[in-house]
């Protein structure tokens, strides 16, 4: 259905935002559901985030998904927030209601959705998370909810890593960035929650020989799907998971929040997204 002037409008914002596949995911579901709706990307800088988001809310937009670097700012500007969003300290979903802006975090569910096929024994997991932004916050919270107790955090800015640990997982071990290869020793769940590896940015280079067989490597990035992080992890024989399934997993509750109906069951959605990436 071609959207008309009566279309329900929602979108995604970040800086940058051109890489986001969220509009592609939502378009497939909108078409399958046959609803009059539009989901668009909104590039918003950090200094304009508050004013533009509030302006979109006043203009009748249904809400926004939020990506780097705005997830913590999204929580701060909301009038109300879900328990998980407050616990994480970041939001990737803002819904605009008559009573104000509501913040939620669907990255938690998306991350666990992506990990599910790997059958990780969470009670035995020794996790190492790279990053200390909004995505890292959600992933760490998710790991705690499924029973992971041995967690290390490594970030380029160690002060941010310490703050993250203090807020969410005080027992976490903080690893200086220059010691990241040493930190891999004995870890069996390695997570990249940084922007390293994103198209146009530096790769996250690691000494994967320090990671034992049977371990799992997860990269939150999906553009490109084959990051250096995942290519090297697969070369070591590890189970390597890209960020595409996390994108799908977090998008489902967002679609329902925006358009008040479940996302259609498209069993070939991942295949469609991979074809889109290959074409672009």
Q: Tokens 């960035």 belong to which residue? A: 177
Interval 41-76: pLDDT, tens? 999 999 999 999 999 999 999 999 999 899 999 999
Q: Which of 71, 226, 260, 275 is catalytic?
A: 71
Q: Is 217 left (phi over 0), alpha (psi -120 to 50) or beta?
A: beta
C-alpha to C-alpha distance for 272 and 265, rounded to whole angstroms = 13
Q: What percent of the chain has pLDDT above 70?
A: 100
Q: Is 260 a known active-site residue?
A: no
pLDDT at 275: 95
DSSP secondary structure string, the chain?
----TT-EEEEEEESS-TT--HHHHHHHHHHHHT--EEEEEEE--GGGHHHHHHHHHHTT--EEEE-TT-HHHHHHH-SEE-HHHHHHT--SEEEEETTEEEEE--HHHHHHHHHGGG---GGG-EEEEE--SHHHHHHHHHHHHTT--EEEEEESSHHHHHHHHHHH-TTPEEEEGGGHHHHTTT-SEEEE-SSTTSTTS------GGGSPTT-EEEES--SSSS-HHHHHHHHTT-EEE-THHHHHHHHHHHHHHHHSSPPP--TTHHHHHHHHHHH-
Interval 133-160: pLDDT, tens? 988 999 999 999 999 999 999 999 999 9
| Domains in the chain with CATH codes | 8-105+248-279 (3.40.50.10860), 109-242 (3.40.50.720)
pLDDT at 57: 98
pLDDT at 33: 97
Nearest-Å Rg of the Cα atoms of the chain is: 18
Q: Which residues of the chain are modeled with pLDDT < 70? A: none
């Amino acid at each position: 259905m071609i959207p008309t002037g009566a279309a329900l409008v929602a979108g995604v914002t970040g800086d940058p935002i051109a890489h986001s596949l969220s509009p592609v995911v939502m378009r497939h579901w909108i078409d399958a559901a046959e609803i009059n709706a539009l989901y668009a990307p909104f590039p918003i800088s950090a200094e304009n985030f508050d004013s533009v988001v509030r302006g979109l809310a006043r203009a009748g937009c249904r809400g926004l998904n939020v990506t780097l670097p705005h997830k913590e700012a999204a929580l701060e500007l909301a009038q109300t927030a879900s328990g998980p969003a407050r616990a994480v300290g970041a939001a990737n979903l803002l819904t605009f209601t008559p009573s104000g802006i509501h913040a939620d975090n669907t990255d938690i569910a998306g991350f666990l959705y992506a990990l599910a096929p790997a059958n990780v024994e969470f009670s035995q997991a020794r996790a190492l998370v790279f990053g200390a932004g909004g995505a890292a916050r959600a992933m760490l919270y998710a790991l705690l909810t499924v029973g992971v107790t041995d967690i290390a955090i490594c970030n380029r800015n160690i002060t941010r890593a310490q703050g993250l640990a203090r807020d969410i997982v005080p027992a976490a071990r903080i690893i200086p960035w220059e010691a990241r290869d040493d930190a891999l020793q004995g870890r069996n769940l390695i997570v990249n929650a940084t922007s390293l590896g994103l198209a146009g940015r530096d790769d996250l280079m690691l000494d994967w020989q320090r990671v034992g067989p049977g371990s799992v490597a997860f990269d939150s990035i999906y553009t490109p799907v084959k990051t250096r992080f995942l290519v090297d992890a697969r070369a070591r024989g590890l189970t390597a998971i890209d960020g595409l399934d996390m994108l799908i997993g977090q998008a489902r509750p967002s679609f329902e929040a925006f358009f008040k109906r479940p996302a259609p069951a498209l069993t070939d959605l991942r295949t469609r997204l991979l074809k889109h990436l290959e074409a672009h």
